[in-house]
């Protein structure tokens, strides 16, 4: 007991809840807080006031690939392609002319779980910007399908999708094979040619509803002004009916291998573990773990990998005196009820086994032998990555919209720093042991894979062999 008290006395006292809440308050750091208002129909309106001349406003929807059904796979992709083809009120030529005359930018992106329509405008044009977004979202251009379908399908066939994107997509297909979260986001889409306007309308009606919608804006604007604009533009959006019950997507430990020895010397591999949702208490620890493993690209960056202080990068860059990967990157995907943590590798065909071995070993060490120095370096790098990201109004608006959908509130930078600072090596070991050690893995790979370990060996590699 006395020893415990003495040891306990050497630890720095944590902040009390009251103190940490004050420190996390943006106004304590002279930063504008996020203001959120919910309209009577359930649409949430969020804004963050910044300096400058440009405001960015967006409509963010809790809808994406995972809301498709088996018979409507590819609907989110078609809606994304049709988004800017004009509406009944604004045909394509008129829409383009209106956006150009304002000097604005307009974009639409459909993701696995979230969809966004964003527009950057001069502050004097904010009302017109909200009106255009309202038109695009409340009257989506599904009626243009018959006219545009052939061009969209041809583009889908001819467009070269980056390999990294394809591997990520197939990893989700492998891991969440029995759920819509595993449906493809980049194609090919089975049966997409038979999708009709009715399929797309049904998808929009079910998902473009008031409770799924967030209007977010960042720029030199007043929150009340945005609320009144949103009320007139989106106040008539109907709430959706009761959602059918759904279960958490089951993470399936399996492999999906595309071996092709003719496609050149580079093999592409991704391995993923089941991780945690956005709101999990362990989510920030996973972000730090991603930073501990880090990312590497041969012959780029300020510090050569061969003398890197990152254990995994150092081991990969020095393997067999020549290195065993051209690049690798740890990744983290958070969703509303699950997540995925893992790594992506691009390496030479003769180094496949070495590269996978080093990365699997690095992920194993998170459960057993993480040092405080490693964790401090990872925390520094994570903060640097989070707070040196683009600071434009558009980037700020995208971040705000995503946060409201994910957390139901804006996340103050000071709070994020406090949450990162609270993590130490023991916490990393606890979380890694709980979720990664002896856990199921999903594996997908493409290219010359004659050195690829058997799935059985990869599954065994998720634990330490101790004799």
- The sign of the dihedral angle between the CA atoms of 131, 137, 143, 146 is positive
Q: Among 96, 98, 148, 353, which one carries the catalytic annotation?
A: 148
**Residue the block writes with tokens 């893995």:** 441
Cβ partners under 8 Å of residue 104, min gap 6: 119, 120, 121, 122, 125, 129
CA 249 to CA 462: how far, in whole Å?
A: 22
17-46 burial, b if ≥16 CB within 10 A, otherwise e?
eeebeeebebeeeeeeebbbbebebebbbb
Taking a C-beta distance cutoff of 8 angstroms, is the pair 428, 285 a contact?
yes
**Residue the block writes with tokens 């533009």:** 233
Q: What are phi and psi of 68, to 5 degrees?
A: -80, 160
- Between the alpha carbon of residue 379 and those of residues 285, 292, 423, the distances in Å are 10, 8, 8
Token representation of residue 41? 């129909």
Q: Among 80, 349, 381, 427, which one carries the catalytic annotation?
A: 80
CA 278 to CA 405: how far, in whole Å?
A: 10
Cβ partners under 8 Å of residue 334, min gap 6: 275, 276, 277, 278, 283, 406
With vertex at residue 230, the alpha carbon angle to CA 82 and CA 413, rounded to the nearest 5 degrees, is 90
- Between the alpha carbon of residue 101 and those of residues 97, 220, 261, the distances in Å are 6, 21, 52
Residue 349 CA from chain centroid, whole number: 29
Query: 148 an active-site residue?
Result: yes
DSSP string, 353-378: HHHHHHHHHHHHHHHH---HHHHHHH
For residue 188, is the peptide bond before it cis, meaning its omega torsion is within 30 degrees of 0? yes
Instruction: Tell me 129's DSSP state.
Output: H
Taking a C-beta distance cutoff of 8 angstroms, is the pair 445, 267 a contact?
yes
CA 464 to CA 467: how far, in whole Å?
A: 10
Residues marked active site are found at: 80, 148
């Amino acid at each position: 007991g006395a020893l415990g008290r003495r040891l306990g006395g050497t630890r720095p006292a944590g902040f009390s809840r009251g103190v940490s809440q004050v420190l996390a308050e943006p106004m304590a750091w002279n930063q504008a807080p996020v203001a959120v208002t919910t309209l009577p129909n359930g649409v949430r309106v969020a804004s963050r006031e910044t300096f400058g001349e440009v405001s960015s406003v967006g409509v963010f929807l809790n809808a994406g690939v995972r809301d498709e059904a088996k018979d409507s796979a590819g609907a989110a992709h078609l809606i994304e392609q049709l988004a800017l083809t004009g509406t009944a009120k604004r045909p394509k030529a008129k829409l383009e002319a209106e956006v150009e005359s304002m000097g604005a930018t307009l974009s639409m992106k459909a993701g696995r779980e979230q969809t966004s329509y964003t527009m950057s405008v001069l502050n004097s044009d904010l009302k017109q910007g909200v009106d255009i977004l309202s038109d695009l979202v409340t009257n989506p251009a599904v009626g243009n399908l018959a006219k545009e379908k052939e061009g969209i399908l041809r583009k889908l066939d001819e467009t070269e999708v980056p390999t990294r994107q394809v591997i990520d997509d197939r990893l989700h297909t492998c891991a969440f094979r029995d759920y819509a979260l595993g449906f493809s986001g980049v194609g090919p889409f089975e049966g997409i040619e038979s999708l009709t306007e009715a399929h797309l309308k049904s998808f929009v009606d079910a998902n473009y509803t008031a409770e799924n919608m967030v209007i977010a804006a960042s720029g030199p604007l007043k929150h009340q002004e945005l609320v009144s604009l949103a009320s007139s533009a989106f106040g008539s959006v109907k709430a959706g009916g009761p959602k059918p019950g759904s279960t958490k997507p089951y993470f399936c430990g399996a492999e999906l291998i595309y071996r092709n020895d003719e496609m050149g010397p580079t093999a592409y591999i991704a391995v993923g573990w089941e991780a945690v949702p956005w709101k999990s208490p362990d989510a920030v620890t996973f972000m730090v773990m991603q930073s501990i493993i880090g990312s590497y690209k041969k012959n780029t960056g300020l510090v050569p990998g061969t003398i890197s202080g990152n254990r995994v990068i150092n081991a990969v860059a020095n393997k067999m005196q020549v290195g065993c990967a051209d690049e690798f990157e740890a990744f983290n995907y958070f969703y509303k009820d699950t997540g995925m943590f893992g790594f992506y590798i691009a390496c030479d065909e003769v180094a496949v086994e070495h590269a996978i071995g080093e990365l699997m070993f690095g992920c194993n060490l998170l459960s057993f032998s993480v040092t405080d120095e490693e964790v401090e370096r990872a925390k520094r790098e994570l903060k640097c990555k989070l707070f040196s990201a683009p600071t434009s109004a558009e980037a700020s608006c995208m971040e705000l919209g995503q946060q409201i959908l994910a957390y139901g509130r804006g996340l103050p930078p000071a709070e994020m720093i406090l949450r990162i600072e609270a993590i130490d090596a023991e916490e990393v070991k606890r979380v890694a042991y709980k979720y990664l050690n002896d856990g199921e893995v999903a594996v997908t790979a493409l290219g010359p894979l004659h050195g690829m370990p058997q799935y059985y060996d990869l599954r065994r590699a998720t634990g330490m062999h101790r004799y």
